Amino acid sequence: MMKRLVVGLLLGVGVASLGGWLLHRLLHTPGPPLSQPVRIYIPERSTLRTTAEILVSAHLLTNPRLFLVWARLTKQDRKIQEGEYLFTAALSPVDILRLLSKGATLRYAVTVVEGMTFQQIVHVLVEKGLGAADQFWCLSRDPQFLAAWGLPPLGLEGYLYPATYQFSRRATPEVILGQMIARFYAALSPALYRQMAASGFSVHQIITLASLIEKETAVAAERTLVSAVFHNRLRQQMPLQCDSTVIYGVPEFDGNLTRQHLTTPSPYNTYLLRGLPPGPIASPSRESIVAALNPASSAYLYFVAKGDGTHEFSVDLAAHNRAVRRFQKRQS
């Protein structure tokens, strides 16, 4: 009798061990190989069963019942996060569940280049499928959103820092723009803030000036020289005569700056108005912000493009006109 009992116990342990081994193997064995990367989307508030059905339909899961049972036993069914996921290789049920619980959703790289306008940034975001244009434009005019970030009521132009960002499609426009603004503030060191306070200009004016420098400068070494021209003109109450500001104020600019553009009134027409325009015209780099605060020691009042990305700088109008004729003739 005792012998039978021992044999029965051993058999039971063996069966249990075998069952445990089989369960472990099923849970940790990847599904069928993928012929190409598979992209799925788990909608917000999806049930565990709906999630399993999505995985089965995408041929990522072959045993949905086991997936359901294991997710509930481990209480990971409550941790699955909505969003877009990319699978480049077959995964086991355990690994799939871990991925969904971590919310390791697909992320899209968005690069804000120095000198990009808000309109251009919105275009990139929309192209990446990260939101609708009107959502971003509405936020740029939302007094509460702007005030929450300590920004002037004019909008977000100039305050979205040039950098490469990674966003998932579940990121809201508030989160996306907020990260760019936060990066802007992070780029301004306490030393820069002290310089701004001592400069006689407001932060908004410095960022505006930096955006002009960014748009007018293709060569880094010229940033402080362009800054000097603008500072000297402001000091002498001369119009800045900055083409980039005029272009910014032209709706649907076609790339051809005309005399009519230069004589058409606009808050951004610095040929007609003295002083800085109302606000930034693009996202300046940190280097342009530093240049706005540290102009070169120079008496330059004019500059003209040479056609190779650099400029010819002049201290008086006669020298400037000669340079204009020389470089216009060279480019014709």
pLDDT confidence band for 15 (50 / 70 / 90): very low
pLDDT tens across 177-208, in order?
Answer: 999 999 999 999 899 999 999 999 999 999 99
- ∠ CA 139-186-136, rounded to 5°: 15
Nearest CA-CA partner of 136 in 182, 176, 185, 180: 176
Radius of gyration of the chain (CA): 30
Give the contacts of 35 (CB within 8 A, at least 6 positions apart).
Answer: none
Question: What per-residue confidence (pLDDT) applies to 183?
Answer: 96
Nearest CA-CA partner of 70 in 105, 14, 25: 25
Return the DSSP state at 76: G
CA-to-CA dists, residue 186 to 100, 193, 208, angstroms? 32, 11, 18
76-84: average pLDDT: 85
Question: What per-residue confidence (pLDDT) applies to 1?
Answer: 53
Look up the pTM and report it.
0.80
Question: What per-residue confidence (pLDDT) applies to 4?
Answer: 53
Helix axes 118-127, 133-140, angle to 10 degrees: 150
Residue 35 has pLDDT above 90, yes or no: no
Nearest CA-CA partner of 243 in 227, 228, 259, 232: 259
Q: Are 284 and 207 in contact (CB under 8 A)?
A: yes
What residue segments make up the domains of the chain, in order of their start? Answer: 33-105, 108-187, 200-300
Q: Are 83 and 170 in contact (CB under 8 A)?
A: yes
Query: Which is more confident, 224 or 42?
Result: 224
**Which of these ranges, 24-33, 159-168, 219-228, 262-271, has the smallest mean pLDDT?**
24-33
At position 223, the amino acid (one-letter code) is R
Q: Are 99 and 85 in contact (CB under 8 A)?
A: yes
- Characterise 313 by phi-psi region: left (phi > 0), alpha (psi -120 to 50), beta (else): beta
Nearest CA-CA partner of 122 in 176, 169, 181, 183: 176
Domain boundaries 33-105, CATH class: alpha beta
Phi and psi at 63, nearest 5°, equal -125, 80
